[in-house]
Amino acid sequence: MSAWTTPSKDMPVSQDPWQPHRATIRRIVREIDSVASSVFTLEIELEPGPFAKRYRFMPGQFNMLYLPGSGEVAISHSGAPTGVASALPEGRFLHTIRAVGRVTRAIQRLEVGDSIGVRGPYGTAWPMENLLDQDVLIVSGGLGMAPLRPVIYSILDQVHRYGRVDLLYGSRSPDLILYESELGSWGACGIGIETTVDRTDPSGVHPWFGPIGPVTQWIQWRKSRTRYPDFDPHRTQVLICGPEVMMHFCAQSALEIGIMPSSIWISMERNMQCGFGACGHCQWGPFFLCKDGPVLRYDLAQGYLSIKDL
Amino acid sequence: MQSVRWLCQNDLQVLLDLLIGEGFCVLGPTIQQHAIVYDEIQSIDQLPKGWTETQGPAVYQIARTPDGPAREKLFHFNLGPHSWKKFLFPPESVLPSQSSVSELAQVGEPQGACVKPYAILGARACELAAIAIQDRVFMNPSFVDAQYALRRKSLFVVAVQCTTAASTCFCPSMNTGPALPDPQSQGHAFDLSLTELTPSEESDARNPSIQEHGFLIQAGSEHGQRILERLPTSEASPRMLRAQEQAIDQVAASIERSMPTNQLRDALMARLQHPHWENVAERCLSCANCTMVCPTCFCSSVEEVHDLVDQAVVRKRRWDSCFNPDFSHTSGAPVRDSVRSRYRQWLTHKLATWHDQFQTSGCVGCGRCITWCPVGIDLTQEVARLLES
């Protein structure tokens, strides 16, 4: 029976990966409050201790947030990552959440000072090393902006280390643009900002004077030598996050303007439950998106993105 | 290394007693509700002596063997609806749980440390392969399931050589059987192995010396060897060893079903849009039976279970299935909302993408999914149809 009580030493089981860690909600920002969508950002602080001390995350990674009685939900980091000057103090981070399901609606009812469980960080990160000295095209659709914001914060931290950086941001309508108040300051710091909407706000509450149409055409326009004389597809990295169909067409457009499939990156969403490839929910082709993703290099994902219901 | 010994049928009880004496909960085949299923046993009288079964697509029927009582075997059947998965990865288990967030601990201790270790009696070659596959799922560099690891590391395996095959078996094509792995060449696949022999198979007019019903027994681990040395065994005769070889050869020769495994991963992944998926979907009930009986399927979901009295919350992990529409629920709706997409997910995961994830097929050729499919869908045939064009 010794085998039962002391499993062999090469297999440490002291820490159960399902165990959530306690955190406290420090701040709540209502981002979007419309009939169509309710989006808010939580600033969360881990309880001081070994977990908070060693907690590090990279842009693109996510946490499992837990509310006892409701369940867990995978939410990507939307704040500045560990090591960036603008990052929050140790053990604090941001999550932008759309209230859409049982758990996210329950989280929406929480108030500052309430507790929440956290496991993480999980998943692959945006390829920040590959972006150095490159032109970067950040393409976001709707809420896809949330997992890309840490990329922007990282770039802004050392903006001289990158080439030309553009954010192409497509939204369904003007009232659904996330982090709208920050876009101006990002632009002032040297990031090219191009926003477009599918349609204007019929109520007129959010007037729109910008372009209307799919974000893909902004990618395609880079073919134009007169508009983008310095555009070089061979030194451009493209990061895309948004609905699957949008990522599919944006990647197609990027290929059309000569960008290498291995220089395009997407972030996939599926039902992540465990975070370590054991529960099976987030499978997409050969990938467990919770650990092989969510960020995938396009040449590896290409064959699956066009297959319906995969 | 370890030599092969002979154990009389009735002395199998001594093995059970030794294992129970060492603190093991011994699990073995028993008959319940007209099926051979695995459960705790204390006595060899609980084994399905004299029983066998008929299997086919959507067919499972147990029956008495035609042999007289003297030649009735204890293991003359193949696989029922259970696999050992239900003990190593229980259908329901409790995760670290807190009654309120304020009690969230920093680090949780693994559950179940006080449960008895298991000894399994009657694991077949394909089942050893299935356990080895689940080992890769639950004990890999990126994740160790504490509960699984505890159960697995203390597991004592008494394997049984198949001396008959069901029509649904296709282990040879999956390279997992029917013969048990050789303990000399393949490390710790089992602790002890048994090959059941009866007089009918081992005696004839010229060699009447072997009249007993019993087992050739061999150790596959040091622990197995220690147990073997305490058993009342005798020397195995060359005649017995020949009878064992013959029995294994006969079983192998009787297996007709096969899976085309050559380049199967790439062949299936190149056919994700094949029209035959729709054809299967017209028959498949999406009932999840195949995933429940599969010895390697590992998908699960976590459920928050409330105690209505004191508002305590228990987190239960339960087996789930890619055939349940909600399984792929993402941002408000299921991704795989058609039977076609769910069957494709199951089959391509089992036979193709499992290789990407765990460097092995997820199928061991046990045939349970064929037997227990209520409409008799046979994955070997579906694969053959897919590969036709």
Do residue B150 and residue A4 have CB atoms under 8 angstroms apart? yes
pLDDT of residue B200: 62
**Mutating which of A1, A11, A16, A270 best tests the B interface, going by the most B Cβ atoms within 10 A?**
A16
pLDDT of residue B206: 53
The answer to whether residue A201 scores a pLDDT higher than 90 is: no
pLDDT of residue B96: 67
CB B64 within 8 A of CB B34: no
pLDDT of residue B180: 95
Q: Where are the domains of chain A?
A: 21-122, 128-267
Residue-wise pLDDT for A246-259, tens only, equals 999 999 999 999 99
ipTM of the complex: 0.90
**CA–CA min distance A219, chain B (Å):** 27
* A21-122 CATH fold: Elongation Factor Tu (Ef-tu); domain 3 (2.40.30)
Tell me if domain A21-122 and domain A128-267 are identical in fold: no
Do residue A11 and residue B149 have CB atoms under 8 angstroms apart? yes
Do residue B357 and residue A69 have CB atoms under 8 angstroms apart? no
Tell me if chain A has a CB within 8 Å of the CB of B333: no
Q: Which of residues 242-271 of B touch A (CB under 8 A)?
A: 269
Alpha-carbon distance values, A88 to A51, A82, A85, B170 (Å): 16, 8, 9, 58
**CA–CA min distance B64, chain A (Å):** 38
Nearest Cβ partner of B108 from A4, A12, A16? A16
Nearest by Cα to B90 from B300, B362, B269, B241: B300
Average pLDDT over residues A158-170: 96
Residues of A in contact with B338 (CB under 8 A): 309
Residues of A in contact with B310 (CB under 8 A): none
Q: What is the CATH number of domain A128-267?
A: 3.40.50.80
User: Which phi and psi angles does A224 have, rounded to 5°?
Assistant: -70, 115
Tell me if chain A has a CB within 8 Å of the CB of B357: yes
SS (HEC) of chain A: CHHHHCCCCCCCCCCCCCCCEEEEEEEEEEEEECCCCEEEEEEEEECCCHHHHHCCCCCCCEEEEEECCCEEEEEEECCCCCCCCCCCCCCEEEEEEECCCHHHHHHHCCCCCCEEEEEEEECCCCCHHHHCCCEEEEEEEHHHHHHHHHHHHHHHHCHHHCCCEEEEEEECCHHHCCCHHHHHHHHHCCCEEEEEECCCCCCCCCCCCCCECCCHHHHHHHHCCCCCCCCCHHHEEEEEECCHHHHHHHHHHHHHCCCCHHHEEEECCCCCCCCCCCCCCCEECCEECCCCCCEEEHHHHHHHHCCCCC
The answer to whether residue A218 scores a pLDDT higher than 60 is: yes
pLDDT of residue B107: 34
The answer to whether residue A5 scores a pLDDT higher than 80 is: no
The answer to whether residue A40 scores a pLDDT higher than 90 is: yes
pLDDT of residue B209: 45
CB B383 within 8 A of CB B347: yes
pLDDT class of A119 with cuts at 50, 70, 90 = very high
Q: Where are the domains of chain B?
A: 5-254, 264-388
SS (HEC) of chain B: CCCCEEEEHHHHHHHHHHHHHCCCEEEEEEEECCEEEEEECCCHHHCCCCEEEEEECCEEEEEECCCCHHHCCCCCCCCCCCCCHHHHCCCEEECCCCCCHHHCCCCCCCCCCCCCCEEEEEECHHHHHHHHHHHHHHEECCEECHHHHHHHHCCEEEEECCCCCCCCCCHHHHCCCCCCCCCCCCCCCCCEEEEEECHHHHCECCECCCCCCEEEEEECCHHHHHHHHCCCCEECCHHHHHHHHHHHHHHHHHCCCCCCCCCHHHHHHCCCCCCHHHHHHHHCCCCCHHHHHCCCCCCEEEEEEECCCCCCEEEEEEECCCCCHHHHEECCEECCCCHHHHHHHHHHHHHHHHHHHHCCCCCCCCCHHHHCCCCCCCHHHHHHHHHHC
Do residue B302 and residue A19 have CB atoms under 8 angstroms apart? no
pLDDT of residue A75: 97
Residues of A in contact with B320 (CB under 8 A): 279-281
Nearest Cβ partner of A69 from B300, B304, B338? B304
Residue-wise pLDDT for A249-299, tens only, equals 999 999 999 999 999 999 999 999 999 999 999 999 999 999 999 999 999
Query: What residue in A sits closest to B341 (Cα-Cα)?
Result: A309
- Low-confidence spans in chain B with pLDDT less than 70: 1-2, 96-115, 187, 200-210, 309-311
Q: Count the Cβ atoms, other than its own, within 10 Å of residue B306.
A: 13
Do residue B110 and residue A278 have CB atoms under 8 angstroms apart? no
pLDDT of residue B98: 52
pLDDT of residue B389: 85
